[in-house]
Amino acid sequence: MAKEGTLASSSLHLQQEVTAAEDTNTKTREVAAAGSIRYACYEGEHQLPLIMSIIDQELSEPYSIFTYRYFTKNWPRLCFLAFHEDNCVGTIVCKMGQHRNTFRGYIAMLVVIKPYRGKGIATELVTRAIQVMQESGCEEVALEAEVTNKGALALYGNLGFIRVKRLFRYYLNGVDAFRLKLLFPRPDLDSLLMLSEENYNMELSRPISEGSGYHWDQQTNC
């Protein structure tokens, strides 16, 4: 009898869990269809617990409140949150500054909570941060991702990031990282390149007799 009661209650429990999961799925599908995700720039310290709680759940690296404050106090315009109704469902935390001889944007943390993944929320968060970086004069954006993080690598790959380095045992969990970079177009360099291309074409179209000294059968070392 007691066993039957336990079975009945556990099956009821299971049924409730299934219904709850179905509700969540339906809810998130509706969210995607309605496009009801609201994106907001970081407003202040009162949002820090929201950011910390979703990042701490999802990223392997532990961060202290000082790390979060370092980013959000110095670069509040480079921190965004995604909300569904009043719930924070995703966030991005970044910085920018001089790095060697380039002015560089850096993505420190990016998370979207599980039920809301695959709906373009991370893409939107990254795009917003990148836009501010570009408008602020950054020449490139960098970040590190675990070599095993297929989702993040695909996401950044789609956005034009390239892998520039593999960092051995970069994370505390012993996993290697890829350093990824997005290079912004440089109009100053583009115009220089176009100029030198024009010169090159003019040089080629000049008749040999004009005295470039170059003959097609001339031997070169390279």
Ligand X SMILES: CC(C)(COP(=O)(O)OP(=O)(O)OC[C@H]1O[C@@H](n2cnc3c(N)ncnc32)[C@H](O)[C@@H]1OP(=O)(O)O)[C@@H](O)C(=O)NCCC(=O)NCCS
We find the least distance from the C-beta atom of residue 212 to ligand X, in angstroms, to be 50
* Closer residue to ligand X in complex, CB, 97/118: 118
| Binding stretches for ligand X (CB under 6 A) | 58-59, 110-112, 117-123, 145, 149-152, 154-155, 158
- Any alpha helices (H) in 59-120, and if so which ranges? 65-74
C-alpha dihedral, 63 to 64 to 70 to 73, nearest 10° = 110
We find the least distance from the C-beta atom of residue 57 to ligand X, in angstroms, to be 9
Neighbours of 121 (CB within 10 A): 23
* Closer residue to ligand X in complex, CB, 67/149: 149
We find the least distance from the C-beta atom of residue 25 to ligand X, in angstroms, to be 15
Q: SS3 for 94-113, per residue? A: EEEEEECCEEEEEEEEEEEC
Contact 119, 154 (CB under 8 A): no
Half-sphere exposure of 89 (CA within 13 A, CB side): 23
DSSP 8-state code for residue 184: P
Task: Extract the tokens encoding 10.
Answer: 């556990």
We find the least distance from the C-beta atom of residue 173 to ligand X, in angstroms, to be 13
List C-alpha distances in Å: 174 to 27, 146, 167: 37, 10, 11
Q: 135, 73, 150: which is closest to 105 by C-alpha?
A: 135
Task: Extract the tokens encoding 94.
Answer: 């970044």
Q: Say which amino acid occupies 156.
A: Y
We find the least distance from the C-beta atom of residue 199 to ligand X, in angstroms, to be 42
* Closer residue to ligand X in complex, CB, 45/56: 56
**For the stretch 174-185, what's the b/e string if a residue is b when 16 or more beta carbons lie within 10 angstroms of its beta carbon?**
eeebbbbbbeee
* Closer residue to ligand X in complex, CB, 29/186: 29
* Closer residue to ligand X in complex, CB, 35/44: 35
We find the least distance from the C-beta atom of residue 83 to ligand X, in angstroms, to be 14
* Closer residue to ligand X in complex, CB, 96/125: 125
* Closer residue to ligand X in complex, CB, 165/206: 165
We find the least distance from the C-beta atom of residue 29 to ligand X, in angstroms, to be 14
